[in-house]
Amino acid sequence: MKRRGLPKRQRLIGLWLLLSGVSLFGGAIFAAWLDTHLNPDGWQRIVLWLGSFSGGGTIFLVGLLLERMLFTPLRHLQVQLARLVSNPDARDEHPPEGWLKGLGPDLRRVHESWRDDRARLATAHAEGARSAARIRQELETLLQVLETPLLLCDHHRRVMLFNQAAEDFFSGHDGLGLGKRLETLLPSPSLQHALSQLPHDGTPRELLAPCDERWLKVILRRVPGSDGEALLTFTDATASWSSEMGVRAELAAMLTPLRQHTASLTSAADALIQLRQRDDATDSLRERLERVIEEEGATLGDSVARIGTLLDDMQHQGERLTPMWSNDFWQALDERLDPEHRLITPIGMPAWFKGDAPALIALLASLVQHLNAYLPDNGFEGEVCLGNKRVYLDFIWRGQPLPERELAQWQQKTLESLPLSPTVADVLRQHASDIWSLADETSGYARIRLPLPATERVGAPRETTPPRPEFHDFGIADLPPPDDALANRSLRSLEVVAFDTETTGLELRRGDTVISLGACRVVNARLLASEVFDQKVDPKRPIPPASTAIHGLTDADVEGAPPLDIVLTRFRQYVSDAVLLAHNASFDMLAISHHGVDFDIPVLDTLLISRALDEAIDGHDLDSLAKRYDLAFPPGTRHTALGDARVTAELWLALLPRLEARGIDTLEKLLALQNNAFDKEDASA
């Protein structure tokens, strides 16, 4: 493809001289011919010859003007740009001149940025290596001092990372090592299944897994946004289970003989009382014995009752009883019973309850397996019923209730999948619970009911929110102190709040008012995507259809919204000490003024700033400037308060380098430039 561009200087000059010469020669011939036929004299002859040579002279003068004011500067600019492309450190030997002189500050800015980028690229590898080494060292230090054992596995379950706590936790185990499969460390099928079923949003799952002679409580979660990587943390649950099924179980077992001793002591006291009827008994001794036995018996009875209360509280408030959401519990139990099919259908309102999730899942899975002959194989309904102080977990099916003898027999069954192999009765006692079966009246359904401790939590679990797009900015530490004079602040160090309003109409002095106010914050020359203000406003009047056609807001959209004075009070708190920024700020400031909230702070206007920078260029509305600076409105955000505010903030960041290139680097200088661009048309508006 033939390259098109500025013609060579020799050709252009040759063409110009040729046209000028032809015009002059033709004019001379034409003047001679007229002079011969008309025979003018005096001033008429002078005018005739000057008129004949005017065309050629005009071409010569216009060409000379274009050469000096446009073509030569263009060539110099082309040379300088070529030099900068090949060597950003080249000297600026051809500053823009002629009609291109206004590009001087922008070209210098490009030159400086180009040179700075070249310098940064020259040291990027060394700085990157040093930064990576520092980050790696800090991360390794953090992981090594962390007391919680953790492992990071890839989607092939190979260990990618483990900390010192994990190494100590699995001391002496050969299965721990980088690149080794997790199965060599924890060969538990339930763990492998749990890993394959982890939600992708990072929601944790927990289970009990055996490791040598220990039982481990494992918390697993998928790393959001990763290629199937999973993070595992471990806790030794053996001690708590030993306490639960050891000392606590022994204390519970002591209750029966203690009650027997209490009954025997009470019986002895009753027998001694009968001595009153015998003549050979000493009255004083008998009375003393009666009093002692009676007092001791009462004390023993109180002690036994107190021990029983403490045990109940110990079981009820055990450290492994944690709040659970019933829908999550039904899902986990469903995965345990039959991962391929959905056996449990939750009905009714979900609720919170307290329990040991792994133990309850093992208990109910054992119940279904043990009572398979009585329970249906096509599934159950799961319902949570709220009592005064308990929550009832119900399994519901069409059929007859279960025989009590079968439930009693099942309660003596050992749960081999749990640490220390407790019985069903032990797990029920852990939850201070019992289990029974009953029939629904006149419905043909039966249910198994398991009461569990209630919790004070209400409402569904909060949805997992994506992480904030900004969570750190170390450059803030380099900003000037907040008490520095605002006028002398550099533009990049300003905290700016870009805002926009949507109104019922354009006649703000005739009753139109705000119906939506949106804003976003710029800190350290960085737009914070999550630090936004977006609020609908009740205008206390109907929204005209003509306005709705522009911004899309109807009366229903603002129904129930707070009034303008309350919204402006909240907005003023959001602005705090920042500088306000708007496009055509005179309109938006008029919309929020005179409503009892003071906005006595500097206001920047991107319309005036753009007009001051490019006075000779038409089109300073927000759409034109967005197109000029390649800024995009996300679909559906144009003519919304927050959408326009975001683009205004992006426009400010695009104008900032151009202001700095012209030496306008403080708020005071920018306000002076902005005031010079304010004309009578703006004042009348």
Tens digits of residue pLDDT in 318-335? 456 778 888 888 888 888
Average pLDDT of span 477-499: 77
| Residues 128 and 260 reside in one and the same domain | no
CB 647 within 8 A of CB 668: no
Distance CA 643, CA 520 (A): 10
pLDDT over threshold 90, residue 443? no
Q: What is the DSSP letter of 533?
A: E
Of 80, 111, 143, the domain-final residue: 143
232 by Cβ neighbours in 10 Å (0-12 / 13-18 / 19+) ranks as buried
Domain CATH for 361: 3.30.565.10
Provide the strand spans (E) within 326-479. Answer: 344-347, 352-355, 380-386, 390-398, 436-439, 445-453
| Measured distance between the N- and C-terminal CA atoms of the chain, rounded to whole angstroms | 52
Of 300, 316, 332, the domain-final residue: 316
CB 324 within 8 A of CB 355: yes
| Residues 599 and 635 reside in one and the same domain | yes
Region of poorest pLDDT, from 182-186, 512-516, 580-584, 619-623? 182-186
Q: Is residue 466 part of a domain?
A: no
Q: What is the pLDDT of residue 582?
A: 95
Q: Is residue 464 part of a domain?
A: no
Q: Is residue 458 part of a domain?
A: no
Q: Please provide the DSSP assignment of 203-226 as one string.
A: --EEEEEEETTEEEEEEEEE-TTS
Distance CA 361, CA 341 (A): 17
Q: What is the pLDDT of residue 252?
A: 62
CB 314 within 8 A of CB 347: no
Q: Is residue 492 part of a domain?
A: yes
Residues counted in the chain: 685
Average pLDDT of span 188-204: 84
Q: What is the pLDDT of residue 5?
A: 46
Of 453, 487, 516, the domain-final residue: 453
Residue with tokens 């015009």: 23
Domain CATH for 677: 3.30.420.10
pLDDT over threshold 90, residue 647? yes
Tokens of 41: 């004299």
Domain count, the chain: 5
CB 427 within 8 A of CB 249: no
Distance CA 584, CA 606 (A): 7
Domain CATH for 214: 3.30.450.20
How distant, in Å, are the alpha carbons of 331, 373, 415, 424 from that of 338?
11, 17, 18, 21
| Residues 189 and 93 reside in one and the same domain | no
Q: Is residue 460 part of a domain?
A: no
| Residues 516 and 602 reside in one and the same domain | yes
pLDDT over threshold 50, residue 477? no
The whole-model pTM stands at: 0.52
| Residues 568 and 449 reside in one and the same domain | no
| Residues 672 and 529 reside in one and the same domain | yes
CB 209 within 8 A of CB 186: yes
pLDDT digits (tens, 9 = 90+) for 216-257: 889 999 888 777 888 999 988 775 665 555 555 566 666 666
Provide the strand spans (E) within 387-506. Answer: 390-398, 436-439, 445-453, 496-503
Q: What is the pLDDT of residue 565?
A: 93
| Residues 346 and 311 reside in one and the same domain | no
Tokens of 225: 């946004």
Crossing angle (nearest 10°) for helices 606-613 and 641-661: 30
Identity at 316, one-letter amino acid code: H
CA 625 to chain centre: 30
Region of poorest pLDDT, from 251-260, 422-431, 671-680? 251-260
| Residues 355 and 442 reside in one and the same domain | yes
- Name 464's Cβ contacts closer than 8 Å, sequence gap at least 6: 201, 202, 203
Distance CA 581, CA 527 (A): 13
Phi-psi region of 141 (alpha: psi -120 to 50; beta: other; left: phi over 0): alpha
Q: What is the pLDDT of residue 270?
A: 66
Question: What's the pLDDT band for 472 if we cut at 50, 70, 90?
Answer: very low
Q: What is the pLDDT of residue 518?
A: 95
Per-position b or e across 248-275, b if 16+ CB within 10 A of its CB: bbeebeeeeebeeebeebbeebeebeeb
Q: Is residue 280 part of a domain?
A: yes
Q: Is residue 471 part of a domain?
A: no
Residue with tokens 């995965």: 335
Q: What range does the domain containing 192 cover?
A: 144-239
228 by Cβ neighbours in 10 Å (0-12 / 13-18 / 19+) ranks as middle
| Residues 204 and 265 reside in one and the same domain | no
pLDDT over threshold 70, residue 353? yes
Q: What is the pLDDT of residue 415?
A: 87
CA 245 to chain centre: 43
Distance CA 355, CA 315 (A): 11
| Residues 162 and 75 reside in one and the same domain | no
Q: Is residue 468 part of a domain?
A: no
| Residues 502 and 383 reside in one and the same domain | no
pLDDT digits (tens, 9 = 90+) for 391-408: 888 888 887 888 888 888
CB 654 within 8 A of CB 629: yes
Identity at 616, one-letter amino acid code: A
| Residues 667 and 584 reside in one and the same domain | yes
Q: What is the pLDDT of residue 313?
A: 57
